[in-house]
Amino acid sequence: MLWPLGPYGTIMAFILISTIPLRNLLSRDEKEERLKLSELPAEIREKGYKWHISLFVVMYVYKAVIDHHNEPIKGRVGGYTHWIHSIEGDFTIWAQNAFKSDILTDALSFHYLCVYLFTIWFLPIYFIMVRDHVMADKATLNYFVIYVLAVPMYLFFNVEVTSSFIPGMQALLYHDSWYLEFFTNNDPMDNGFPSLHFGLPVGLLIINRLHCRDLGISIRDWRHRELDMFVMVNVGIYFFSIQYLGIHWITDVVPGLILGAICAIFCHSWQPILRNRPMHGWKSLVPNKRALSTATIFTILCASLMLHTIVDGPGTDDEVPNFRLGEGDFIIDTVEVHSLSHPVTVEVTNLASSPSATPQQEILTCVITLRSEVVDFFERGGFSEGHDFSGLLEVPHHSNHTIGPGESVVTAVDTKTIFDTHLVICSSDQSSLEVRITMHYFDDELMWSAVVASLPAFFITGLVIDSRREQSSHIEGEDSTHVDS
């Protein structure tokens, strides 16, 4: 796909163009509820949608800040992909081996990015344009809150994508010329745990059902039932595509479901509080003493546990691989631009974990080069026609290394402009190898701000725990004849 707008621009253009037609299709039985485009500015003012727009801007900045922390602190938090692999092994490769085809790869790659952005953008704007301000609130909150909940795991429990750790599994989405630049700019590739591609829509499905329960109707009778079914179908597609494309472990789905449930409960409970804030004032946003105490204690406990068990913990063991590759495989890691005056120290270690191989078979070849020089080398998880790993040595590159068993190479990578994103590309022609790539950035003191950025997730979870506890106490205190099953 050589479209000029790139993956993000192309998909957002598709979503924007299809917004009104899809709104009309889904609301064909209630045309009187449709909002005209000319009425949109007045509706935004009347319904207070300015904070929805602001939340999207805040989210864009917030994610950029979190991503800025991810790599610099990794040297002190390490990775836990080996733990996930010990649970499920190489099972997820079945999807790729059984169904692999170019057509399916292109379709699912487009779907993976398109429907996620569609869920983020279209659902809030759809509810706005069919005059359902309650669901517009909840859909917007769902997007923001579930990412906030995922931040501690994204920063302190790094899990690489399956195609980086299962020998023989190809990164069908990431290693492709059309997507490579976008994903190396926006996806750290080790934020697999949890899967928000699963958790975000699941959270919305739960919100839908909580909302219908409050309305006293069945989900089957809800005016947005078709939209709910669309989201449900795409959750099923995602469950397959994240395995097939070499992205998520099945284990990643579990915390995605849990965070989806926590997010849904929080958004459903707090939407009326936020909606009525102009009437009741800012003090109405302060939880009661019991909820505040529960959330504060939970936050302190989780933050303390995280600092004492993860920072400089088992994930930083130099003998533990964060990449594994099979015969003929290649892996790609990104050297991000964090400073134009301080180099990034890149350490690549060949752990040589194949006991039956000879030293000649355990050689790891590594090249570090500017991404702009090699974008066209990759297609659908492999090398594009006319290119191979040896061809990487013929393009301008920072350095290349041959690393024997048990050996390490340390090199400094300078970035002279903000566009100097480098790739570390490693390959083994003859044997399966375990590799550890560690990068040291000048701003590793970001650890403390990373901890601070994680606190809202713990606080929100504490509030949800308290709300469930309060509801349980309320039910137990009522006469059983008045409690519906």
Same domain for 196 and 344: no
d(CA 275, CA 283): 13
Both 396 and 420 in one domain: the answer is: yes
Q: Does 332 lie in the same domain as 223?
A: no
pLDDT tens column, 339-392: 788 888 999 999 875 555 555 568 888 999 988 888 888 998 888 888 888 888
Taking only the tens place, the pLDDT of each residue in 424-469 is: 999 887 677 899 999 888 866 788 899 999 999 999 999 999 887 7
Domain presence at residue 483:
no
Is the four-CA dihedral 180, 183, 187, 193 of positive or negative sign? negative
Give the model's pLDDT for residue 4: 57
What count of Cα atoms within 13 Å lies in the side-chain half-sphere of residue 323?
24
Query: Is residue 470, in this structure, part of any structural domain at all?
Result: no
Is the domain of 452 the same as that of 365? no
3-state secondary structure (DSSP) of residue 479: coil
Is position 1 within any domain? no
> Does 478 map to a domain?
no
Enclosing domain of residue 118:
6-314+448-463
Q: What is the DSSP letter of 35?
A: P
Residues 355 and 273 in one domain: no
Contacts of residue 147, defined as CB under 8 A and 6 or more positions apart, other chains included, come to 59, 62, 63, 196
In a domain, 479, yes or no: no
Q: Is residue 382 part of a domain?
A: yes
Q: Tell me: do 221 and 370 sit in the same domain.
A: no
Residue at 474 is within a domain:
no
Predicted pLDDT at 380: 86
Mean pLDDT of the chain: 87
Asked if 74 contacts 155 with a C-beta cutoff of 8 angstroms, the reply is no
Give the span between the Cα atoms of 385 and 388, in whole angstroms.
Answer: 8
* Domain total in the chain: 2
Contact 268, 205 (CB under 8 A): no
Q: What is the CATH number of the domain that holds 327?
A: 2.60.120.680
My answer on whether 329 and 238 are in the same domain is no
- Domain assignment present for residue 180? The answer is yes
Distance of CA 278 to the CA centre of its chain: 33
Residue 484 has a pLDDT of 39
Peptide bond into 4 cis (omega under 30): no
Residues 456 and 429 reside in one and the same domain: no
Residues 120 and 150 in one domain: yes
Based on the domain organization, do 322 and 290 belong to the same domain?
Answer: no
Write down the pLDDT at residue 304. Answer: 95
For residue 477, what pLDDT is reported?
52
Low-confidence ranges of the chain (pLDDT < 50): 1, 475, 478-485
